[in-house]
Structure 1
Amino acid sequence: MTRVRHRATAGAHSVRFVYTNIAGGSVGPNPITVKAAFEYSLGAIVPVFFNGSRTGVCAPGGILVSDPIPVELADNDLFYSRNLVTVGSAGEKWPLGPYISTSVGDGTAATDLVDSGAITGGNATYAFGPSAIVGSKVGAATAVLLLGDSILQGLGDGSSEPTTDAGWGARALNNEYGYVNVALAGEEASQFQPGNARRLSRLPLARYCTHAIVNHGINDVKADSTTAQIQQRLTNIWTALANMGLKVYQSTLTPVTTGTFTTEAGQTKQTQAREDVRIAVNTWIRSTPAPLTGFLEAADAVETARNSGIWKANYTTDGTHPSATGAAAIATAVAPLPF
Structure 2
Amino acid sequence: MTRLRPARLSVLLAFAFTLTGSRIAAAKNAPAPPHWVGTWATADVERSNAKGEFGAADMTFREIVHVSLGGGLVRIELSNEFGTEPLTIGAAHVALTENKTDIALPTANALLFSGRETVTIPPGGIVVSDPVKLALPAFADLTVSLFVPAQKITHLTVHGSAYQTNYTVTGNAVGSKTLTEPKKQGSWFFLKAVDVEAPAEAAAVVAFGDSITDGTYSTSDTNQRWPDLLAQRLAADKKTANLGVLNVGIGGNRVLHDVTGPNALSRFDTDVLAQSGVKYMIVLESINDIGHAYDPAKPYDVVTAEDIIAGLTQMIERAHMHGIKVFGATCTPYVGAKYSSPAGEAVRTAVNTWIRTSKKLDGVVDFDKATQDPANPTAFAPAYDHGDHLHPNDAGMKAMAGSIDLKLFTEK
Shorter-normalised TM range: 0.7 to 0.9
Amino acid at match of 1:275: E
The equivalences for 1:17-36 within 5 A come to: 17-22=76-81, 27-34=82-89, 35-36=91-92
RMSD of Structure 2 on Structure 1 (CA): 2.9
User: 1:148-203 deviations in whole A, cap 9, x for unaligned?
Assistant: 111111112235x42xx243233222283433322222221114466x3x445534
1:240 equivalent in structure 2: 318
Report deviation, 1:254: 1.0
- Counting aligned pairs with the same residue, the percent is 26
3-state SS in 1 of match to 2:345:
helix
The equivalences for 1:1-339 within 5 A come to: 1-22=60-81, 27-34=82-89, 35-40=91-96, 42-44=104-106, 45-86=108-149, 88-89=151-152, 92-97=154-159, 106-120=166-180, 121-123=182-184, 125-128=186-189, 130-138=191-199, 140-158=201-219, 161-162=221-222, 165-174=223-232, 176=235, 177-191=243-257, 192=263, 196=266, 198-199=267-268, 201-222=270-291, 223=293, 224-258=302-336, 270-290=340-360, 292-305=361-374, 308-316=377-385, 317-334=387-404, 336=406, 338-339=408-409
Distance 1:75 1:158, change over 3 A: closer
Report deviation, 1:205: 3.3
Q: TM-score, normalised by structure 2?
A: 0.69
Q: More helix per residue: 1 or 2?
A: 2
Q: Is the 8 A contact 1:13 1:135 kept in 2?
A: yes
Amino acid at match of 1:47: A
Gaps of 5+ in 1: 260-267
Report deviation, 1:36: 1.1
Report deviation, 1:108: 0.7
More displaced, 11-20 or 79-88?
Answer: 79-88
Amino acid at match of 2:157: P
Q: Quick check: which has more Rg, 1 or 2?
A: 2
Q: TM-score, normalised by structure 1?
A: 0.82
Report deviation, 1:33: 1.8
Q: Is the 8 A contact 1:2 1:129 kept in 2?
A: no
Amino acid at match of 2:403: A
3-state SS in 2 of match to 1:206:
coil
Q: Is the 8 A contact 2:284 2:330 kept in 1?
A: yes
1:263 equivalent in structure 2: none
